[in-house]
Amino acid sequence: MKAKVLLSLVLLCGYLAAPTARADDAAPAAPAVPPACELPSYLLTSESRLPKVAEAVKAGKPLEILVIGSRSTTIPASEDASYPARMQAILKDKLPASEVVHVSVEIQSKKTAEEAATTFVKLVEAKRPTLVIWQTGTVDAIRAIDPDDFRGAVTGGVTALQNAGADVVLMNLQYSPRTETMISVPPYLDNMRVVAQEHDIPLFDRFAIMRQWNDQGQFDLFSPSRGPELAKQVHDCLGRALAQFVIDAAHLGPAQQQN
Amino acid sequence: MTIADQVTGSTIAGTAGAKPRAAAPAISLPAIGERELRLDLFRGLALWLIFIDHLPPSLLTWFTIRNYGFSDATEIFIFISGYTAAFVYGRAMLESGVVIATARILRRVWQIYVAHVFLFTIFLAEISYVATSFENPLYTEEMGIMDFLKQPDVTIVQALLLRFRPVNMDVLPLYIVLMLALPVILWSMKWRPDLTLALSVVLYAVTWEYDLYFSAYPNGFWAFNPLAWQLLFVFGAWCALGGARRMSRILASPVTMWIAIAYIVAAFYVTLTWYVPQLSHLMPKRLEQWMYPIDKTDLDVLRFTHFLALAALTVRFLPRDWPGLTSPWLRPLILCGQHSLEIFCLGVFLAFAGHFILAEVSGGAAMHALISLSGILIMWGVAWVISWYKRVAEKSGAKTKNAVGNADLAGGG
């Protein structure tokens, strides 16, 4: 019992100390980031690299990014405000003016990871992207697909994309507090993390990021509002975070950035 | 968690001191009478922790054991359920025979099943409400979960078959299946306890090797695979039926203690890397690749051993006659542990209600703390009322009082 009490205390102290520690190492970059989008830097960095993106930008070649997503990739009737569009705008802003950035979106509505992955070979052949951002997991979680099967499908998809010559970023599920009692999300988050680790590819932790915003009070994700304003703001922040994440993982130093 | 009880109780049916003969049962039971308060205490604790874990994360979540190692309250719960079920129905089997004991176990299974269906009804009410009142365009995709409301004919039937189980409703179906297997387990334990445990280990190993599972609706599998989790249940039963006593020397040895401490510290460090990402680069990648994912569905060996280590230390440092067990401060926990099926269901319901309040009223930290605390107070209050009612009912019906077969002791839902 004593040991347990001690452990609790240690962890509690760690927890209380954590926000200050995080604040210290928060990203000094990007003064233009609106306060609502602020995030601790550990959510925006990855140990894995994006070599092909780095190469393309250094060589001054166009940067073709393909976002493969689902319904949460878009906002109904507000296409331009969705995170892929916002990311394109921010990347154009941050990279040298000569750099051509083009983001295309492929929506795989109501498809599991396995169903989506079957289309990858054709898709990549047609678009020849430098970078594929694959956002998946929600449909699998809703349908309670076996997490092992899910992991197999994500592994298959990632391998297919890599074999086709693209850098890959995985993006996990949204943080959705309203449906927390109805959809079991953790197994899918864990398995995506494992696949990212195994293949040494960056994982954009959308779930942790959105939860951070909700917990810190930047956004109220419990809101039942029917209007698109909240969705637009969240997607704007997601697009900024994603752009920052790609720049960081590709190690695009100040030389390749405008500011 | 009463491994290694030095029980002075009588052994049943002539095994005492004698070499087991073919006719004599191979198991022994401690004396009836005193309740084992440590069991109640830790089951009560598990119930509180399960309730807190079912709420959205908050400061209180940091007090639940899953943040300090691999195993969590579910392990405690299933182990104690196996222990108490074997204790009560094992006695019934020795005294009244297999048929009677089986009948009583089935009655208990029925109670748990009804409790499960009741919780499902509450879930239906909640999800229907959310489906009609919540249309945030940010979450159009997540609302796909409501699709199953479009075919209630299939969904409800699958729920009654235990194949459709919404989030947080996985423990009772697991418990139902384990209890259904209990007559066979006990019957086999009566004959050869060690062989039964060995068979359970074999089933566990085969489940891992050949990836066996219970299928679920609409697809996938049970979130707690009974074929794997039975190991903990059978182990609990084995401990209750004399195994604990035989292990007492191992448990008393300082070597065991230090291994357990080392393992718990190592597990704590690994868990720490999940919450303090700055530490994660100190983890060897090879180790990470071997270790992850730590599978809850199939009761990962790392989780099982973590539970064993915790149990070994608990038994060592918390003796059966620890005076604190009778202190009023631990009374709420023990009361809850003594009515586990009722309090478990109440906890799941309160977690639903808590989510609902957080969503509809406010999601602030203060409200969160208030919900957690009042939930625990309600659990305590209801447990107290049930105890009070039983006491009164027993007094008035003293003539028909039956000392054996208190369903609560076997309880656990």
A22 sits in which H/E element: helix A2-24
For residue A16, what pLDDT is reported?
43
Amino acid at B203: L
A18: which 2 tokens?
A: 């954590």
For residue B299, what pLDDT is reported?
92
pLDDT surpasses 90 at B384 = yes
B401: which 2 tokens?
A: 């009082």
Q: Do A194 and B218 touch (CB under 8 A)?
A: no
pLDDT surpasses 70 at B17 = no
For residue B245, what pLDDT is reported?
87
Entry field: residues in chain B: 413
Phi-psi region of B128 (alpha: psi -120 to 50; beta: other; left: phi over 0): alpha
Q: Do A181 and B126 touch (CB under 8 A)?
A: yes
Residue with tokens 């107070």: B377
Residue with tokens 């509690």: A12
Q: Do A3 and B313 touch (CB under 8 A)?
A: yes
Q: For residue B290, what pLDDT band results from cuts at 50, 70 and 90? A: confident
Smallest Cα distance from A53 to chain B, Å: 24
Amino acid at A125: E
Q: For residue B111, what pLDDT band results from cuts at 50, 70 and 90? A: very high
For residue B30, what pLDDT is reported?
56
B97: which 2 tokens?
A: 């025979």
Nearest to A42 among B137, B140, B277 (CB): B277
Q: Which residues of B touch A230 (CB under 8 A)?
A: 136, 138
DSSP A181-234: TTS--HHHHHHHHHHHHHHT--EE-HHHHHHHHHHTTSS-TT----SSHHHHHH
Nearest to B62 among A15, A174, A222 (CB): A15
Is pLDDT larger for residue B399 or for residue B212?
B212
pLDDT surpasses 90 at B207 = yes
Helix axes B73-96, B98-133, angle to 10 degrees: 150
d(CA B264, CA B261): 5
Is pLDDT larger for residue A226 or for residue B163?
B163
DSSP B96-156: H-HHHHHHHHHHHHHHHHHHHHHHHHHHHHHHHHHHHH---GGGTTGGGGGGGGG-HHHHH
Closest by CA to B85, choosing from B222, B169, B184, B9, is B184
Q: For residue B8, what pLDDT band results from cuts at 50, 70 and 90? A: very low
For residue B104, what pLDDT is reported?
95
CA A36 to chain centroid, in Å, comes to 17
Question: Which has the minimum average pLDDT: A38-52, B88-102, B371-385, B389-403?
Answer: B389-403
Contact A18, B274 (CB under 8 A): no
Closest by CA to B71, choosing from B318, B348, B302, is B302
Is pLDDT larger for residue B130 or for residue B200?
B200
For residue B122, what pLDDT is reported?
86
Q: Do B145 and A148 touch (CB under 8 A)?
A: no
Smallest Cα distance from A225 to chain B, Å: 5
Mean of pLDDT over chain B:
83
Radius of gyration of chain B (CA): 22
Closest by CA to B97, choosing from B186, B228, B223, is B186
Reduced to 3 states (helix: H, G, I; strand: E, B; else coil), residue A28 is coil
Nearest to A12 among B62, B138, B281 (CB): B62
Reduced to 3 states (helix: H, G, I; strand: E, B; else coil), residue A75 is coil
CA B346 to chain centroid, in Å, comes to 15
pLDDT surpasses 80 at B202 = yes
All residues at 6 or more sequence positions from A93 whose CB lies less than 8 Å from its CB, including other chains: A258
Q: Which residue of A has its CA nearest to B349?
A: A181
Which neighbouring-strand residues pair with A167? A131
Smallest Cα distance from B127 to chain A, Å: 8
Q: Do A226 and B136 touch (CB under 8 A)?
A: yes
For residue B26, what pLDDT is reported?
57
Reduced to 3 states (helix: H, G, I; strand: E, B; else coil), residue B329 is coil
Contact B228, B298 (CB under 8 A): yes
Q: Which residue of B has its CA nearest to A192?
A: B293
Contact A14, B271 (CB under 8 A): no
| Buried-state track A123-157, b at ≥16 Cβ within 10 A, e below 16 | bbeebebbbbbbbbbbbbbbbbbbbbbbbbbbbbb
Report how far apart, in Å, the C-alpha atoms of B118 and of each of A78, B6, B179 are.
42, 40, 19
d(CA B1, CA B77): 10
d(CA A104, CA A67): 6
Tell me whether residue A76 is exposed, middle or buried, using C-beta atoms within 10 angstroms of its C-beta: 0 to 12, 13 to 18, 19 or more.
Answer: exposed
Which of B326-329's residues contact partners 24+ apart within 8 Å by CB, and which partners?
Answer: B326/B37
Residue with tokens 């807190």: B52
ipTM of the complex: 0.77
Residue A254 touches chain B, beta carbons under 8 Å: no
Q: What phi and psi, each to the nearest 5 degrees, are found at residue A12?
A: -60, -45
Q: Which residue of B has its CA nearest to A81?
A: B138
Nearest to B139 among A148, A178, A191 (CB): A178
Tell me whether residue A226 is exposed, middle or buried, using C-beta atoms within 10 angstroms of its C-beta: 0 to 12, 13 to 18, 19 or more.
Answer: exposed
Q: Do A144 and B65 touch (CB under 8 A)?
A: no
Which neighbouring-strand residues pair with A106? A68
d(CA A173, CA A71): 11
DSSP state of A41: G
Closest by CA to B100, choosing from B176, B32, B183, B27, is B183
Which neighbouring-strand residues pair with A103? A65
Residues 193-212 of A with CB under 8 A from B: 193-194, 197-198
Contact B40, B338 (CB under 8 A): yes
Is pLDDT larger for residue B99 or for residue A226?
B99
Residue A79 touches chain B, beta carbons under 8 Å: no
Residue A228 touches chain B, beta carbons under 8 Å: yes
Residue with tokens 């009374």: B331
- pLDDT tens for residues B391-401? 999 888 765 54
B257: which 2 tokens?
A: 């203690």
d(CA B86, CA B94): 11
pLDDT surpasses 80 at B226 = yes
For residue B27, what pLDDT is reported?
61
Degrees to nearest 5, angle at CA B97 with B94 and B100: 120
Best B68, B136, B261 residue to mutate vs chain A (most A CBs within 10 Å): B136
Question: Which has the minimum average pLDDT: A48-57, A217-226, B57-66, B307-316?
Answer: B57-66
B39: which 2 tokens?
A: 């069991």
Q: What is the pLDDT along chain A (259 residues), one digit of tens a residue?
A: 344 444 444 444 444 444 444 444 444 444 467 788 899 988 998 889 999 999 999 998 999 999 999 988 988 878 889 999 999 999 999 998 888 999 999 998 889 999 999 999 999 999 999 999 999 999 999 888 888 889 999 999 999 999 999 999 999 999 988 787 778 898 899 999 999 998 999 999 999 999 999 888 888 887 777 778 899 999 999 999 999 999 999 988 665 665 4
Best B138, B272, B302, B367 residue to mutate vs chain A (most A CBs within 10 Å): B138
Q: Do A3 and B359 touch (CB under 8 A)?
A: no
Is pLDDT larger for residue B131 or for residue A41?
A41
d(CA A208, CA A173): 9
Report how far apart, in Å, the C-alpha atoms of A57 and of each of A99, A246, A253, B88 are.
7, 12, 11, 71
Closest by CA to A191, choosing from A138, A137, A133, is A137
B216 sits in which H/E element: none
Reduced to 3 states (helix: H, G, I; strand: E, B; else coil), residue A69 is strand
Question: Where do the DSSP E strands lie in chain A?
Answer: 63-69, 101-107, 131-135, 167-171, 203-204
For residue A102, what pLDDT is reported?
93
The domains found in chain A, sorted by start residue, are: 35-253 (3.40.50.1110)
Residue A126 touches chain B, beta carbons under 8 Å: no
For residue A90, what pLDDT is reported?
94
pLDDT surpasses 60 at B1 = no
All residues at 6 or more sequence positions from B97 whose CB lies less than 8 Å from its CB, including other chains: none
Closest by CA to A246, choosing from A66, A11, A15, A31, is A66
Q: Do B68 and A139 touch (CB under 8 A)?
A: no
Report how many Cβ contacts below 8 Å link chain A to chain B: 149
Nearest to A178 among B130, B167, B352 (CB): B130
Residue A3 touches chain B, beta carbons under 8 Å: yes
Q: Do A223 and B136 touch (CB under 8 A)?
A: yes
